[in-house]
Structure 1
Amino acid sequence: MTRTADVVVIGGGQAGLAAGWYLRRLGADFVILDAQATPGGAWQHAWDSLHLFSPAAYSSLPGRLMPRQEGKPFPDVSHVLEYIADYEKRYELPVQRGVHVEAVRDAGELLRVETDRGSWSARAVISATGTWGRPFLPAVPGRSDFRGRQLHTVDHRSPRDFAGQRVIVVGGGNSGAQIAADLAPHATVRWVTRRPARYLPDEIDGRALFELATQRVRDGGPRISDLGDIVTVPPVRAARDAGLIPDHRMFEALTPDGARWPDGTVWPADSVIWCTGFRPALAHLAPLGLRAEAGRIPTEGTRALADPRIHLLGYGDWTGPASATLIGVGRTAREATREIAALLGPVS
């Protein structure tokens, strides 16, 4: 059986819900298909101690401010999950859970969205699957020889899992800094980065980052990457100031029992955590042939240039400044849904 909707949103995390809020306001006929069993998107898979970069009021989806979390200026993961679940319920967004989208195909005037629970016909598709499902692991010599445990950011849960171990944390971004700081009181940590760690000024949080991104769109202000890579959230700042997480340059290879540096130094390790980023999870769009030679789908804003019925939402600056953040995704969701509304024409 093939069901129909004007718009199919693929992904029920923060980007998909933001799109749903605007589609509801526009009176569109839409459905949100989400592979997860419960609300929260990627947030439900984050490590236990993760906190937002911003105060609650500056971490909100469109239409509803995130309430403060008592005693915590930067909300933790549990608070974010409660907020997202409440948001979905409050606005009665039509999320279908446990639905894995396998492919989106051109079916003439319509698009066919194929899932493990049947197909949908749609006039437009918003892909909001994010990147958490495609962790990136670099091709490092000796990686297959290492006999210890190797994890990616997506696998880390609690520092107690590494108590008493020697752990190499690889990656000079926020995840690397936060996980190194998380582990430091419990394990012997060597934090490894390709270049010296670049901390943003201590007064910059997610709110300021969003304002900088907005300024750059409006009048060509400074790029955030010109200022630094790491937001100094309180746990990172405390570990940095205590000298617990000095950064070391990248090793040349893993060995069976640790890592080896170019000068011959060897550091034994029990575990390696790769905080080396992600790639967009877009395999479901492959049948449409939207990718350019460089591998990325060319877009104007969120709209795929090769097919204006397809919008990509929440994948980072590529599809809108700060669009991979709670506060930032609303702006690009609004623009995407406006374009889709214009494509669909008047709602009957």
Structure 2
Amino acid sequence: MGVSAIEVDVAVIGAGQAGLSAAYHLQRRGFVPVVRDALAARTFVVLDANPAPGGAWQHRWPSLRMATVNGIHELPGFPVPPADPAMASREALPPYFAEYEQRFDLAVQRPVRVTAVRRGDDDPHGRLLVETDRGDWAARHVINATGTWTRPFRPFYPGLDRFRGRQLHVADYVSAEEFAGQRVIIVGAGVSAVQLLEEISHVAETVWMTRREPQWVEDDFDLAARSAAIAGVEARVRQGLPPGSVIAVTGMHWTPWARAAEARGVLVRHPMFAAAEEHGVRMPDGSFIAADVILWATGFRPALDHLAPLKLRTPDGGFRVADTRSLDEPRLFLIGYGPSQSTVGANRAGRAAVQQIVAEHPRGDDRSSPSRAIAEASAA
């Protein structure tokens, strides 16, 4: 382990919903930001790659208004202030995150990009080394809360490199006006796909494509539905399978924008194209659809490349996690991953991770064994 690494009890990677929730619960349980008191009995640090507070909200497209945001949930201990429904979420929510950090004195360090997390030595109860572009940290526990926004997913289809039109992901979207008068193929079966379909179809011709026929659910996508989605992926991550999509668990819910698109006759699903060509796409039945734009609303993948040195990824492509904790590296917690991807789940995950850490180190000592704490979970 490098001699220059700063020692800390807990390193939190990421300052979005999950990371700030973990930091809040650490603070409540007597942990102190290491930059505030280097001699405190129990310390933590929050490392965030973003230049400012707000997590992924600061990067959302400008037309995503507070009235159409899906699944906002307040951070623990501080309600979301009232906001104009017409206000852009990227303007309303980052100030809330910034005030939250100040109110609870979380001392988030940014911009700090974590490049790798590795074992400091061969001691399974030793420290994990968190390497960053601004120095290294040696932590007894690491709470990873890096989310998914930085890893937009685009599936592969033959001929995409030949397509002469524009391709972009939801992460790159700005506004419908940039597609005015064009034909836009929107790919995806999630909430964002339907939101953007409804928005873009006012100014452009849209063609909506999904791999599977959507299964529409009449109930609103309320708290109970989100809770069901969280429970639905729990078994998958315990086995080390990729978490899968919320839609695959809950079906498509009739949101206001979905009903608006249906009322205008634009909520028409087509099967996924078989291949792309220079000026459009070729359908499975051999027919051709001309297109100017392909907009991929195909979701995101967990941003976990920095954990590669730990060699925890399973042959199925996931991480074995139970109750936020890695079953193969008990010093590591993954929150905002799998069953805790929603904002509600992220808050709960932050609390659950901290409760386990406190149970093992009630006075910040080294006498307990993280490995023993997950023996039952790993065998289940």
TM-score normalised over the length of structure 2: 0.82
For the residues of structure 1 that align with 2:88 and 2:223, how far apart are their CA atoms? 13
Cα pair distance change 1:4/1:227, threshold 3 Å: closer
Unaligned runs of 5+ in 2: 32-42, 235-244, 366-380
Aligned with 2:193: secondary structure? helix
- Contact 1:21-1:91 within 8 A present in 2 as well: yes
Provide the identity percentage.
44
- Which of 257, 273, 277 is the matching residue for 2:279? 257
Superposition deviation, residue 212 in structure 1: 3.7
- Which of 266, 269, 289 is the matching residue for 2:311? 289
Superposition deviation, residue 196 in structure 1: 2.2
Question: Are residues 1:333 and 2:365 paired?
Answer: no
Corresponding letter in the other structure for 2:44: F
Corresponding letter in the other structure for 2:154: L
Corresponding letter in the other structure for 2:291: A
Question: Are residues 1:125 and 2:148 paired?
Answer: no
Instruction: State the partner residue of 1:87.
Output: 100
Once the two structures are superposed, what CA deviation does each residue of 1:27-69 show, in whole Å capped at 9, x if it has no partner?
A: 1211110110011111111122323235x6xx21211222332
Superposition deviation, residue 2 in structure 1: 2.1
Instruction: State the partner residue of 2:370.
Output: none
Instruction: State the partner residue of 1:320.
Output: none
Instruction: State the partner residue of 2:156.
Output: 139
Question: Are residues 1:105 and 2:108 paired?
Answer: no
Superposition deviation, residue 77 in structure 1: 4.0
- Contact 2:17-2:347 within 8 A present in 1 as well: no
> Number of residue pairs matched?
334
Corresponding letter in the other structure for 1:38: A
Once the two structures are superposed, what CA deviation does each residue of 1:85-130 show, in whole Å capped at 9, x if it has no partner?
A: 2222221212111111001111131111100111011110011111
Once the two structures are superposed, what CA deviation does each residue of 1:119-162 show, in whole Å capped at 9, x if it has no partner?
A: 01111001111111111111101111101111111111211121
- Contact 2:189-2:247 within 8 A present in 1 as well: no
For the residues of structure 2 that align with 1:210 and 1:256, how far apart are their CA atoms? 40
Corresponding letter in the other structure for 1:62: P
Unaligned runs of 5+ in 1: 318-322
Once the two structures are superposed, what CA deviation does each residue of 1:232-253 show, in whole Å capped at 9, x if it has no partner?
A: 3322321122212311111111
Superposition deviation, residue 215 in structure 1: 7.9
Question: Are residues 1:13 and 2:29 paired?
Answer: no
- Contact 2:9-2:364 within 8 A present in 1 as well: no
- Contact 2:50-2:112 within 8 A present in 1 as well: yes
Aligned with 1:327: secondary structure? helix
Corresponding letter in the other structure for 2:57: W
For the residues of structure 2 that align with 1:335 and 1:16, how far apart are their CA atoms? 12
Cα pair distance change 1:217/1:137, threshold 3 Å: closer
Question: Are residues 1:161 and 2:184 paired?
Answer: no
Cα pair distance change 1:212/1:189, threshold 3 Å: same
Superposition deviation, residue 227 in structure 1: 7.4
For the residues of structure 2 that align with 1:147 and 1:215, how far apart are their CA atoms? 42
For the residues of structure 1 that align with 2:358 and 2:296, how far apart are their CA atoms? 41
Corresponding letter in the other structure for 1:33: L
- Which of 149, 156, 169 is the matching residue for 1:152? 169
- Contact 1:165-1:188 within 8 A present in 2 as well: yes
Aligned with 2:109: secondary structure? strand
- Contact 2:162-2:276 within 8 A present in 1 as well: yes
Question: Are residues 1:48 and 2:86 paired?
Answer: no
Instruction: State the partner residue of 1:38.
Output: 52
Corresponding letter in the other structure for 1:308: P
For the residues of structure 2 that align with 1:45 and 1:129, how far apart are their CA atoms? 14
Instruction: State the partner residue of 1:60.
Output: 74
Question: Are residues 1:4 and 2:17 paired?
Answer: no
Corresponding letter in the other structure for 1:283: D
Instruction: State the partner residue of 2:225.
Output: 209
Corresponding letter in the other structure for 1:130: G
TM-score normalised over the length of structure 1: 0.89
Cα pair distance change 1:226/1:189, threshold 3 Å: closer
Aligned with 2:223: secondary structure? helix
